[in-house]
Structure 1
Amino acid sequence: MSFYFLTALREQNPTAAITIITRTIYKDLFEYLPLDLKVIEVGRSTNSYWHRLLEIFSLRSFFPDPPDIYYALPPSLSSAITGWFIGAKKRIGMRGQSYYLRALFLNQLTKQLDPDRTSSHRAYEYLALLNWPRRSLPVITLKKQQLWADLAAGTGTQTIVININSEASSRRMPSEQWLSLLEIFKQSAYRILLIGSAKEEKHVQCLLDLLPKNHNFTIENHAGKTSIARLVEILSQASLMISNDSGPAHLSAILGTPTIVFFGAGDTNSTAPLNPKNAQIHIFSDHNLACAPCLKNNCKFASDNNQHLACLKNISMEDVARKIREFLLR
């Protein structure tokens, strides 16, 4: 979602020096934006409050001259503190978590989006920080597209990418449903690629271990073996991406790949994958539940098997199968 913000920021400031602070796992993504960005990475290997403070302190050395403007995109207290600590003269952010504390570190806080805005999606919230005058999103252009065309050349087989991972357990569809979904591809000629980071490799392998040994489809485990650059190449050539609510789902949508996403705890109005130029994005969720969307990292019904992850368990695999056929036959 920050891609739209950064594209608009560069459009408004064609000659400015723009530096972004991002987590290490996302760093390589920004190489695909032709926006002349300087990228500073922070590890965030732990959620420890003290670890975050140490990271913020370390950022000071990257800014010998205080920035003129700092935008705090995450609605967190730590993102507000960062702008203050590096000495930014103007510090802009949304009202978010710990609002009154954030107000101590930011000197310009935006209110809710104007009534004439068409969406409360996070991408529009970010653009509101720039007083973006248009109702449409800026057009994202990615570099190195000429390198992607040869990825699947000559294979003659449609590739389906599946991502069963997400950082929060409340956003991960249970394995039983993924197994039901994979049944859809029995005796098909599709090439199925499972993706994931190194830390998600074990989770992906656990699902593969549950498959019957005589399954009749081609499935490959690429978890832990795929760089960001390779992921971009794979998704750009895929016939379909099927994913939990996660970063790869957003990337797939931006690349224009037909994308099916399963939403659990997340708010689809705020953080669903977004690309007005990609008509083939479909979100599955059950937000008719009283607890949905809960926005929690862990389902509060962990001890109740009937209600645990009901927002994901209630998704009909028959409906998913119909949407898969629709996307693949277009």
Structure 2
Amino acid sequence: MENILIRGVNWLGDAVMSLPAVRAIRKLHPTSNISILIKEKIADLFRWENTIDEVIIYSEGFTGKIKTIKELKNKKFKRAYLLQNALDAALITTVAGIPERVGWNRDCRRIFLTHPVPYHGEDRKIHHIDYFFEIPKRFNPSLLPDYPWINPSLKERLSARKELKNLKRPILALSPGAKYGDTKKWEAEKFIEVSKKFIGEYGSVVLFGSQGEDLEIKDSGIYNFIGKTSLRELICLLAECDILLCNDSGIMHLGYALGVPLVAIFGSTSPELTGPPKFAGKVIRAQVECSPCFKNRCPDIKCMKSIEVEDVWSALNEIIPSKKAVFFDRDGTLCKDANYLSKWEDFEVFPFIETLKELKNLGFLLIGISNQSGIARGIIREDFVKEVNQFFIDKYGFDDFFYCPHHPDERCFCRKPNPGMPLIARYKYGIDFRNSYVVGDKDIDMQLAQMIGAKGILISKDAKNLKEVVEIIKRDINA
């Protein structure tokens, strides 16, 4: 088995944006042992990453680098992918004797690269996700970047949920800091004003950030985690929040990667280069001529001062998750499980499916979520899956239908019990998971309900049929 090394990046936001590149490298080397060399401060991000077999901590200083070189030598890596731009990354992997070294041809390191990726000034004008992704893409141009999801374990999600259980919902996560400098920070007084408005009209506020980024605001509706969490704890707590308000920062990248709807404030930097995906929330950016300037210092910071509380408050109100939904598994729940349903003659809907329209009258969205690994296995045509899903939309009033086409070995984020499909639905429809349900016939459906904090209804145990599912939900809302 070959050993492959990835030299990861040093900053939290960059690390999140590099995740699609990391996963593409796994696709290039599906059977290899893949290690990532990373600084301790962001190592926890990759300890969750199921495409990585080993996390190696980069030791700083002269003696630390010698230690790192020795460790890399002992592991006999065949190839190193250098996502970090620095000369140091190329030099260390060369001295460690790694025969193949891949990276951008920049920062005076051409002599150390066996597979240089041509670099032009225009390459830094694309989104950073695409920038990092260009490195593995050179070996397979057909590769496409996936979404940089982060997936904490169920155990850790439940622990964080317990930590926040006494807070009134919805919970606004608020992060007023940014490592880059003051030009990326909205004014503290305005963050405080938004916090007070949110507590007064909606729920609770939790503060996240590093030591020294505190807003110094006292209110019973605020839970202050600034400087009190590890990265791992921060990620789990943030995943349990309902909405995020932040600057262009590492926490912003964590937020959209966790599926938390967000409002991100941009001043000196560009959302085209480092911003969240458009469907992940709202970007509020300065409307001044000098923005983006990419400076970390400025005498007056006109860009941030030009953004008013009303602008941010309006954006928050637009994306607060407020709709309720019932997520339905398909095969074995809505229709007969034909063991990889692949033709219409085997399609048979279950009795009482018409009763689901009662849920629509009660204000619920009906959303299908189905694992369809038969597509990847070559057993089912993807267009047939789409046709069946569309049937439920057209005939029974479903609002949407999501499916995972991947093989289990692909380690994707959308395959149940992973929460990718409901999180995309939350982004799309503004769904409040705490007032929603997951209905299915398998344990993975109930695990999914736990992952997102919804209520689970297991067919054959909690309810015998779809009519009983409707009755359970009606009793709940009338209780």
Structure 2 CA distance for aligned equivalents of residues 60 and 202 of structure 1: 35
The yes-or-no answer on 1:42 pairing with 2:62 is no
Distance 2:70 2:134 in 1: 30
1:76 alignment counterpart: 86
Distance 1:15 1:54, change over 3 A: same
Q: d(CA) in 2 for partners of 1:43 and 1:68?
A: 21
CA contact (8 A) 1:265 1:294 kept: yes
CA 1:147/1:201 → structure 2, altered by over 3 Å: closer, same or farther?
A: closer
Give TM-score scaled by structure 1 length: 0.79
Aligned residues: percent identity? 21
The alpha-carbon distance between structure 1 residues 125 and 181, as it changes in their structure 2 partners (threshold 3 A), is: same
Provide the secondary structure at the position in 2 that maps to 1:260.
strand
CA contact (8 A) 2:21 2:145 kept: no
Tell whether 2:118 aligns with 1:126.
no
TM-score, normalization by structure 2 = 0.56
Write the distance in 2 (CA, Å) between the matches of 1:311 and 1:87. 48
Residue in 1 that maps onto 2:151: 142
Q: Distance in 1 between matches of 2:49 and 2:75?
A: 25
1:175 aligns with 2:188: yes
Contact residue 83 and residue 106 of structure 1 kept, 8 A: no
**Whose Rg is larger?**
2
Matched pairs, number = 296
Deviations 1:189-209, CA, capped at 9 Å, x for gaps:
41111112xxx32331xx21x
- Tell me which residue corresponds to 1:192: 205
Q: Match for residue 295 of structure 1? A: 294
Q: CA deviation at 1:105?
A: 2.1
What is the deviation of 1:17? Answer: 1.4
Within 5 Å, give how 1:92-131 maps onto structure 2.
92-96=102-106, 98=107, 101-111=108-118, 120-131=126-137
1:32 pairs, out of 48, 52, 76, with 48
Higher relative contact order, structure no. (Cα contacts within 8 Å, ≥ 6 residues apart): 1
Provide the secondary structure at the position in 2 that maps to 1:129: helix
Runs of 4+ in 1 over 6 A off after TM superposition: none
| Distance in 1, Cα, partners of 2:251 & 2:29 | 29
> Displacement, 1:145?
3.7
Instruction: After TM superposition, list the pairs within 5 Å mapping 1:277-288 onto structure 2.
Output: 279-286=279-286, 288=288
> Deviation digits for residues 272-310 of structure 1, max 9, x if unmatched?
234x7xx232222226433x33333x31x33xxxxx222
The 3 A distance-change label for structure 1 pair 294 and 77 is farther
Hey, what does 2:245 align to over in structure 1?
A: 242
Partner of 1:322: 314
Over the residues paired in the alignment, what is the CA RMSD in angstroms? 2.8
Q: Look up the match of 1:226.
A: 229
The 2-side partners of 1:11 and 1:178 are apart by 42
**Alpha-carbon deviations, 1:38-68, whole Å to 9, x = none?**
1122366xxxxxx3x5543331121224422
Write out per-residue CA displacement over residues 215-258 of structure 1, whole angstroms, 9 at most, x where no aligned residue. Answer: 5x611111222222322221222110111222221111011110
Separation of aligned partners in 1, 2:152 and 2:242: 21
